[in-house]
Structures are given as C-alpha cells and as structure tokens.
Amino acid sequence: MDLNEKLKILSDAAKYDVSCSSSGSTRKGQKGNLGAAATSGICHSFTPDGRCISLLKILLTNYCIYDCAYCINRRSNDVQRASFTPQEIINLTINFYRRNYIEGLFLSSAIIKNSNHTMEMLLQVAKKLRLEEGFNGYIHMKAIPGASEELIHEAGLYVDRMSVNIELPSENSLKLLAPDKDKNAILAPMRSIGSQIISAKEARKTFKKAPLFVPGGQSTQLIIGATPETDLKILNLSENLYNKYNLKRVYYSAYTPVNTDSNLPELKTPPTLREHRLYQGDWLLRFYGFKAHELLSEEKPQFDIHLDPKCNWALNNLHLFPVEINKAPYEMLLRVPGIGIRSAKKIVISRRIAPLNYDDLKKLGIVLKRAQFFITCNTKYYGSTDIDDIQIRRKLVPQFEFEENIPYEQLSLFTLSSTTHNTSLLLNSTSAVKPLLLQDSLSALTGEL
C-alpha cells in the first residue's frame, strides 16, 4: 500500500479523537487556483500559550486487538486497515513541516499486538524526531493504557502534551462497551503522568536544565451519550480529574453512532447541544470557581439545554440576587450571568474611582442583556422584568413561547473543537435556536458566560 493511501486511511481513522480538532474540509485543488484543503490529516489545535497551530493528525495503525463497541476501528469491524512504520511518520512530519503545511504532530494509535509494543512504536517516533531530526515542533501523543510506566515516562520527555483517553465515564460502562479495557490501566498512567509533570516543574525551579516532561500538560476525552451517566456524574468525574491528576483539559465528544451493537443506544443524532453545555460547565469549573455540585444536583442532574449553565445556576439560586455592582466581591461578580472575567475585573477597578451606575457599565462595555436581571447599580434594579424565575427565563429564551422542546442539533462528523463545533451548530440550526447559539458561540470564544 502506498504512503498516500495509508495517510488517507489513518488520518480518517484519527478524526474521532476530539482532543485535537480537525477542519474536515474537502475542497479540491483547481487548475489556476492556489492550494487545496486536503482531508488527509491536517487539523488545528491550540498550544498551551493559546496559539492556533496546524497539526498532522494520524494514527500509527488502525489494526486493533480490542473490540470497543462504539469504535470504528474495533477488531470485529470490516474496515480497510493500515499501519505506518515509525520512520514513515517521521518522514511525513519532517516533509510536511519543511513545506510549512504543519507546525506539529498529533499521534495516536489503536492497539497492535499489545500495549507495550504499541507504546514502543510511538516512543520511537517522538524520540527520533527530537534526537535524530532535531524536530522542535509541537508533539501531542497518546499514552497507551496498559503500557509500562518506563515507556510512558520516556515518551513524556520528548512530547509537549500527552493524553490517556478515559472514553467512558464509569467502570460499569467500560465493562459493557469496552470489555478489554480496565479502569485502573487507564487511571494509572494518568496518575503517573500527573505526578511526573509536577516533579519536573519543581526540578526546573532548582536546576534550569532539568529535563522537560509533558510541558503542555495532559488531557483526556469522554464520550457523551453512549452510556446512561448523567451530566452530574460526568462533571464530578472531570472535577476529580482536574484536582487529582493535574489534567489540563477534559474533552467531551458527543457519541456518534458508527456501529450497530445491542449495547449501544439508538440515537438519531449525536447529542451535540449536551456536549456543548458540558464544555460550558467545564469552563465554569476551571475559570469561575464553581464546583460540580453547585451546578447540578441529584434532583437536577442534567444541564438545561435551553440555558447556559451559569444562567441556569443563577436562576436556581435567585435568593442570592440581585447583587449590588458597587459592593459585590469579585468572586460573586463572576457568578453574574453575562459578566465574565474581563468584565468583573473592569468593574472592580473602575468602582474604586467612583460608584458605577448603569450607563457606566455600558460605557465599560459590559454586556447587560443577561446581567440586567441579576444586578443593582446604586441599589436600583434595571431588569426589564421582575426578579422571577419564569419571567427571566422567558426574557432570556423567548423561544419558550413558541417551542416546547428545542431538539438536539445534527452536526457533521467533523464538529470536533468547541469553536468549530459552535460555528457548525449555528449554521445548521433552526431560526428559533440561532440567537441562543450565537450567544453561546461567543461565550465559547471569550469564556464569558
């Protein structure tokens, strides 16, 4: 099989991993025009310092000894298979890099022979790229569950980011859909990578030349909707992963049916709005000081798909509002719907000079569409309705008047990053959902909920 054919198969097989996003464009090159958006493997991702970079996103192989029910590459599927040699991946990376197609490599793999053998092959790629080719670009590599700690540690010395995919949010679901996988074999490398990242950072405080270890941090991916876990269970798991394993990111991937299996749910469309709400809830955990148990409860374990999680929390806790904009602590300002980190900082700085009124907030560029219902300025309330759950919901989601249920939206298979994801949702959505999603899309870009 020639290299192009392998590239086509193994980049296509890598597209289900959302911890690195792909454009998925199929625009062909044309005579007289410049360039072509090849589907084979080039995708975009964000580095730890926030730069958007192009990566070659491929699998080492899609031959797999496991048979996970939800996976296109599972052993029992009749799909075209291919494997790269480590040297082929190195050559592709260097050639693409030299031509300026990519700034780095995202390398994952199905499990061929066994976990150690697969990890050894991945390690060879990273090691040779760094030591023999002098490659200084970005490398994101999967750590293979079940591989030895030594192999994973060695790989961590050469890559920028590592991820171990949990995939399913509970042990029971793993047993049901991925019976070859073992919860401990997934958590053990995660734990080890997390503690080695901390040790390496500590060592570099004392010795400037101490070796780097996964400087971009580690991430994981959870499939949403293939199993019955609630949003509360999923968000609790994410919170634990951030706290215990020092994770940089948890990625959520709406379950996309690709196989027929009696243990899989029958979904007409992937639950992409649910995935989107989970990303927003996750953002509140990481940047706004919320805890999972504040956003969701055993009585209400699912996010409301009509409202972003911060609005939903505020409406469930109306007794805490309105807050006086001139007195509320920074942490409480952050909890006001519509006021994000930048806005809260602006308010805190400006009110030191003089008390702020409603017009001052507008002049500061604070978006008051949502915030008006939850604040007072110099004790005066400016909301266009009473402080009442139902009335505010009606103002925030006028579609309630017309549509009882806003359905989950169908996306293309390539709705992989939260940003491209929102754009696709927006373009494909019904007119009733569009205003809601436009706000959500902006919030996903700015982080202001």
Supply the DSSP string of 12-57, one letter for each residue: HGGGG-TTSEE----PPP-TTS------SSEEEEE-TTS-EEEEEE
C-beta of 182 vs 403, nearer to ligand SF4: 182
64 is a contact residue toward ligand SF4 (CB under 6 A): yes
Amino acid at 436: L
Amino acid at 218: Q
Count of chain residues binding ligand SF4 (CB under 6 A)? 9
C-beta of 10 vs 396, nearer to ligand SF4: 10
73 is a contact residue toward ligand SF4 (CB under 6 A): yes
What are the φ and ψ backbone dihedral angles of 184, each rounded to 5 degrees? -65, -35
Q: How far is the CB of 70 from ligand SF4 (least distance, A)?
A: 7
Contact between 36 and 29 (Cβ < 8 Å): yes
Candidate list 43, 55, 71, 129; residue touching ligand SF4; CB under 6 A:
71
C-beta of 90 vs 166, nearer to ligand SF4: 166
Q: How far is the CB of 67 from ligand SF4 (least distance, A)?
A: 6
19-42: burial string, b at 16+ Cβ within 10 Å, e else: bbbbbbeeeeeeeeeeeeebbbbb
C-beta of 141 vs 344, nearer to ligand SF4: 141
C-beta of 54 vs 218, nearer to ligand SF4: 218
Residues 95-114 that bind ligand SF4 (CB under 6 A): 110-111
Candidate list 46, 66, 101, 381; residue touching ligand SF4; CB under 6 A:
66
Supply the DSSP string of 47-116, one letter for each residue: -TTS-EEEEEEEESB---S---TT-TT-TTS-----B--HHHHHHHHHHHHHTTS-SEEEEE----S-HH
Q: How far is the CB of 221 from ligand SF4 (least distance, A)?
A: 10
Q: Which residue has the tokens 């990273």?
A: 126
Q: How far is the CB of 78 from ligand SF4 (least distance, A)?
A: 14
For residue 307, give the nearest of 315, 296, 299, 317 by alpha carbon. 315
Binding pattern for the stretch 175-214 against ligand SF4, x by CB under 6 A and - elsewhere: ---x------------------------------------
Q: How far is the CB of 163 from ligand SF4 (least distance, A)?
A: 13
For residue 221, give the nearest of 70, 50, 49 by alpha carbon. 70
74 is a contact residue toward ligand SF4 (CB under 6 A): yes
Sites of contact with ligand SF4 (CB under 6 A): 64, 66, 68, 71, 73-74, 110-111, 178
